[in-house]
């Protein structure tokens, strides 16, 4: 099979034997796999999850289960189309990959397979972030990186649920783009005064932080006393920054979030319920804009596109 193996600061196209699934694993004939920010960070060596050079890259994708290494779940999945997430070993940028059966989500016939390739990262994260905030009693939020794929999902979810959302973007053209999909409150990241005023007007006490660095400090100054910031991304490449007086005197709480931790802490029933909820919304609120699809052989062009502006849509490898 063809695959993309990691090398220093990139990948190379290689030919590998089709792997054999171990007990508890399934073999997936891949259909599509996205290039996500965590994929790029892993290749650059800046991601928390480390894989050795030579490992096949890619964290998620979609395809058809064609073999099982044994176990009830593995046998159940044979012949089914699934969304899948790679574990500690080889990833999804290959014509075939072995993954744990419990890292697969069966797909309904109506689910678009390209959209399903991105199910387990952005759509699931958007769903869980909003669930987390709502269960804490919040109905007003602020998010940065709002023009990105995940940010747009949160915009659409909040619009459909009648929730108040302040969206922070970097460029003026992104303001109109977000308003076109239902965003009511959009502010430029350079407008600290406007951001604080909107958050005060809407009584915002909860923030979704995809950027970290100085952006965490900006959000801490904007949300109300007793608020909470959930840091789920590292787009700045810098540690989250916050003033001590904001933590002490404004009683702010800053937490980190990853889907890995959520999956470990959530019951099987809770995972399945959230997965089906996210899958049902893939055609509308949780859909991802796709900028381009490329074969593995065009990986250089695909990675160049993926390093560009994330608001222009996802780049997928198609098999």
> What residues form DSSP beta bridges with 132?
none
The verdict on residue 77 lying in a domain is yes
pLDDT above 90 (res 144): yes
The verdict on residue 277 lying in a domain is no
pTM for the whole thing?
A: 0.88
Residue 175 maps to which CATH number?
A: 3.40.50.720
- State the DSSP H helix or E strand holding residue 154, giving kind and residue range, or none if neither: helix 149-161
Helix (H, G, I), strand (E, B) or coil at 291: strand
Task: Name the band, by pLDDT with cuts 50, 70 and 90, for residue 161.
Answer: very high
- The token duo for 247 is 């933590």
Assess whether 148 and 254 both reside in one domain: yes
Assess whether 90 and 45 both reside in one domain: yes
Q: What is the pLDDT of residues 13-33, one digit of tens each?
A: 999 999 999 999 999 999 999
Would you call 130 exposed, middle or buried from its count of C-beta atoms within 10 A (0-12, 13-18, 19+)? buried
Across the range 66-83, mean pLDDT stands at 96
The verdict on residue 42 lying in a domain is yes
Assess whether 25 and 112 both reside in one domain: yes
Residue 312: the pLDDT is 81
Q: Give the count of domains, the chain.
A: 2
The verdict on residue 274 lying in a domain is no
Assess whether 128 and 255 both reside in one domain: yes
pLDDT above 90 (res 245): no
Assess whether 40 and 77 both reside in one domain: yes
pLDDT above 90 (res 48): no
Assess whether 219 and 141 both reside in one domain: yes
* Mean predicted lDDT score pLDDT of the chain: 94
Assess whether 142 and 178 both reside in one domain: yes
From 260, 277, 305, the end of a domain falls on: 260
Assess whether 104 and 193 both reside in one domain: no
Task: Name the band, by pLDDT with cuts 50, 70 and 90, for residue 50.
Answer: confident
Assess whether 229 and 214 both reside in one domain: yes
Q: What is the pLDDT of residues 284-293, one digit of tens each?
A: 999 999 999 9
Measured CA distances, 314 to 90, 233, 264, 303 (Å):
22, 17, 27, 11
From 244, 260, 276, the end of a domain falls on: 260
Assess whether 145 and 246 both reside in one domain: yes
State the residue range of the domain holding 56: 2-118+288-318
Across the range 56-65, mean pLDDT stands at 98
Q: What percentage of the chain has pLDDT greater than the value 70?
A: 99
- State the DSSP H helix or E strand holding residue 143, giving kind and residue range, or none if neither: strand 140-143
Lowest-confidence segment of 42-46, 76-80, 207-211, 224-228 by average pLDDT: 42-46
Picking from 297, 311, 258, the residue whose alpha carbon sits closest to that of residue 12 is 297
Residue 243: the pLDDT is 86
Residue 74 maps to which CATH number?
A: 3.90.180.10
């Amino acid at each position: 099979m063809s695959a993309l193996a990691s090398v220093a600061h990139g990948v190379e196209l290689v030919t590998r034997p089709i792997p054999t699934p171990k007990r508890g694993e399934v073999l997936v004939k891949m259909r599509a796999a996205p290039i996500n920010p965590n994929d790029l960070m892993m290749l650059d060596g800046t991601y928390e999850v480390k894989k050795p050079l030579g490992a096949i890259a890619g964290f998620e994708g979609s395809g058809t289960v064609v073999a099982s290494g044994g176990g009830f779940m593995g046998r159940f999945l044979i012949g089914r189309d699934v969304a899948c997430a790679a574990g500690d070993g080889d990833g999804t940028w290959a014509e075939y990959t072995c993954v744990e059966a419990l890292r697969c989500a069966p797909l309904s016939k109506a689910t678009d397979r390209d959209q399903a390739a991105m199910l387990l990262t952005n759509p699931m994260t958007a769903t869980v972030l909003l669930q987390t905030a709502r269960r804490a009693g919040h109905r007003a939020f602020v998010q940065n990186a709002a023009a990105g794929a995940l940010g747009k999902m949160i915009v659409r979810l909040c619009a459909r649920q009648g929730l108040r959302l302040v969206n922070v973007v970097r460029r003026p053209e992104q303001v109109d783009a977000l308003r076109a999909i239902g965003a009511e409150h959009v502010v430029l990241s350079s407008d600290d005064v406007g951001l604080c005023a909107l958050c005060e007007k809407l009584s915002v006490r909860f923030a979704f932080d995809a950027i970290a660095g100085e952006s965490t400090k900006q959000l801490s100054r904007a949300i109300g006393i007793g608020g909470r910031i959930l840091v789920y991304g590292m787009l700045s490449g810098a540690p989250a920054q916050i003033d001590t007086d904001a933590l002490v005197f404004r009683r702010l709480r800053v937490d980190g979030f990853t889907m890995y931790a959520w999956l470990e802490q959530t019951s099987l029933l809770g995972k399945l319920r959230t997965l089906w909820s996210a899958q049902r919304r893939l055609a509308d609120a949780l859909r991802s804009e796709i900028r381009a699809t490329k074969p593995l052989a065009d990986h250089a062009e695909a990675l160049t596109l993926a390093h560009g502006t994330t608001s222009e849509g996802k780049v997928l490898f198609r098999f």
